[in-house]
Chains A and B, each alone.
Chain A
Amino acid sequence: MSAATPTAGITPYAPRIRARRGLSVGFMVIALLAITASMLMLGALIVEIAVDGAARLFTDGSATVQEVRGETLIDLPTPENMNWLAWAMPVAILLPFLGLRVVRSLIADIPALAERAIGFATTLPVAVFVHILYVRFESAYYIEYAKAIGVDGASGNIFQLFAEASGFQFVRLIVAGLILPLGIIAAGWFWSNRLRRPSLLLPAIATAAWVVYLFLDPFFLSSYPSRLPAQAGLFSAITGTLYMMVITAAVAFPLGVGAAIYLEEYARRNWFSRMIQVNISNLAGVPSIIYGLLGLQVFVRVLEFERSVLAGACTMALLVMPIIIVSAQEALRTVPPSMREAAYAVGATRWQVIRFHVLPYAFGGMLTGNILAMSRAIGETAPLIAIGALTFIAFLADSPTDDFTVMPIQVFNWVTRPQSGFHEIAASGIIVLMLVLLVMNAAAIVMRQRTRTDW
């Protein structure tokens, strides 16, 4: 033992606890400030985009008539009955929920079936009411529209107007007229099933969608690119994106999930599967532009797809495949081994085990991964530029071998132009792009939560 026992006499410690505590708290505050500041910065940027881009997406209530490529396009004024309708809608949607709540508080222990019945009984009339209101409103709108463009709409027959309406307006008529009532019914269903969160989410989304829809200016979304910022639109980019996404998902999902199943369920742990695994994680780190060059040489030149939707979708499928594989593998790993063993124990073959026990369990997770992969693909620009997707597409792709453009390429094109008018519509394009991404991410999150089963 050393002679000096540390406990003897005054200890040479100076813990300065107050100072250190202050430092610790200060550190937390700084970290919190840094995080908040960066979030605020991003928030400010988003607000800036929203302010810049909103002008083209929403009507300001004034009627404008534009001559575009020989067609007369009319921006109708907001009908008078629209405003009260917009604000009455959230109330109308929330009423049945409140009603059910009151019933619940009055009668304890309602039987499940009765509760469901009450849920429906209260939501159904509201949904019907909404639909009737909508049709009345829309027919009034279209009578105005018909008068303005000189179609004989005096009869006010909505079916005739359907016939006259252009493609986009037709879709708008159908979708908005159906989605909202159906959304309300679905909300009622969720509510009566005691799934509280979706039941609040759905009316909120339905209301927001309704308000957005009422104020939305269809012009930007239904026009083709133009040399003049005031006439340029996102129509061909939206349809191109949709087209490409469908093909990308159709190619990438089976391939990625197949690879994941092989790696998780079939492959033995040897050098080969390790090599594939390392390879996949490296592919995830390859810059996207390099995939573009691969697509350029393989799909565009060797396979002669030309600069088509198909070439773009195949390139994109290769790009997102590592994401799909990895997330599908994770989903497969969550399947408890006891489930496989139970299935094997009753004599199922390996494929039967996978098909009937493993896949159904892991499918939700796989789908989530697929949605996230698609949301990555929607935002990717560089590889499509490399394979030569065009920006000035004044037609819609009819077949997978047609030329195409997508939303981010259109945005890129507008951002890089010097005129500030183009910068504004770039912001509008970004809003549309981000909304699509937001919806996809929300869907992925909801799906992840709903498919999570605890065993």
Chain B
Amino acid sequence: MNRRDFLALSATTAAMAGLPLPLAAAGDDWAKAFRAALAEKPWLLGWLGTNEARLETPALTVDGTIPSELSGTLYRNGPAQHEVGGRRYQHWFDGDGMVQAFRIGGGKVAHLGRLVETAKLATEDKADRPVEMTFGTYLPDMRRAANADALNTANISMLHHGGELLALWEGGSAYQIEPDTLDTIGPKTWNPLTKGLPFSAHPRVDSQGTLWSFGYASSAGAIVLYRIDPAGTLVEQGIVRMERVPMVHDFVVTERQVLLVLPPLYFDRERPGAFLDRHVWDPDAGTRILIFDKDDLTKHRTVEMPAFWMFHFGNAWEDSAGKIHLDLARYDDPSLMFETLRWVMRGEYRPATTARPYRMTVDPAAGKATSEAIAEDAEAEFPRIDPRLTGLRHRRLILLGSDGSAPHPLFNAVVRVDPETGERSFYSYGPNAIAEEHVFVPRPGGTGEDDGWVLGTVLNYKAGVTRLNVFDAAGLSDGPLATASLPYALPLGLHGTFVAG
């Protein structure tokens, strides 16, 4: 990028974003192509990224009224540093993680965002270039992936459990974060036997307060299961050995079971390229569901289904007949991850298969499973439920959707749907918005899935700012009760968790 281009961009996008624009390295084709495209497609602002290690706003501008009972912190995480030394990563999921804390109380909101100080970040700060191979980028001068934590970006989600706050990746250790300052404490070691093992970005805390998690160890030929008590002590780890390990982003628990749903996207270390590129989609192998009893992780039953891909589940529960009902955002294949979410980093929009909400029913006794669309017309992702109902029957799913007016590959609306009747409420942020994950926050002392709030962030790329929205859960279509605006745009993130207090 020449100086004139940079100034032109400074005058528009960077000023809009309110943040210094990362400088592209000379000769970095992806960085140059992205900047050229950004001038044409302002929605790319969500993928620009930042090199700021810290972002802070003590009091956001609030429109409307934040309920006085709503008190706590929404912690979010996502890939944020998309360029190191001016060199740009080639997949959305590659960037170094940044934890965003929105502290809500007394009708006010404060924001603090900090990059997670991973081992990778320290190495690359020193080198001032990308050193480690990442999830989706393997440049000629990058190091091979010797072990998972060398490339750990801690960039997917957040978990608060047993008094500890963790920034979650999925290929390696969780990183412990100090909840107030967001200082990085270091990789979380549950016990010596699980040190350095993968810990997923979607652990589940069941109604007993037990934390369940898993991790897929592609190169070691195994998936690890974790059972962690309410105090945060690992009480049991299980190992499922398999010849070919698939990429598995999420899982579910019921009151009695743990279910791993394994799409046929298999790791093959002999293939060239980054971690993602070493995976082969093998639809003939089908999608397998492994069902474990919570009290015996050493064995499982397997149910097979025709191939499908998913990142996320909403929840699962077992009915009185022993059938398990499971909600998910289902794709026909993983092309979104290989195409759209890669090329967007170059400023290109390459459409691929999108997700729809599905209800899957698994009959472990008969060894069968079926699935059915919850709302046939709805594109939707990032399903969440009332966290108190994890593993129990839920009647509300909160998802991101689209009204069809937005020119970008993600979402601009929030949807609340009853997975049993398909009845839905919907709110669109309009054509200039990219909505991020929305979560349900129960009202203190409240009961039921309608008694609380829906919280979520939205990037308005026209205004160049990120906003936090608070809805009455029962009145989603009426629009937000309150909107709190940051003076800058945050890099689009992935998942988060609300910690009351």
A and B are partners in one complex rather than unrelated chains:
no
Chain B residues engaging chain A, CB cutoff 8 angstroms: none
Q: Which A residues contact B (CB, under 8 angstroms)?
A: none
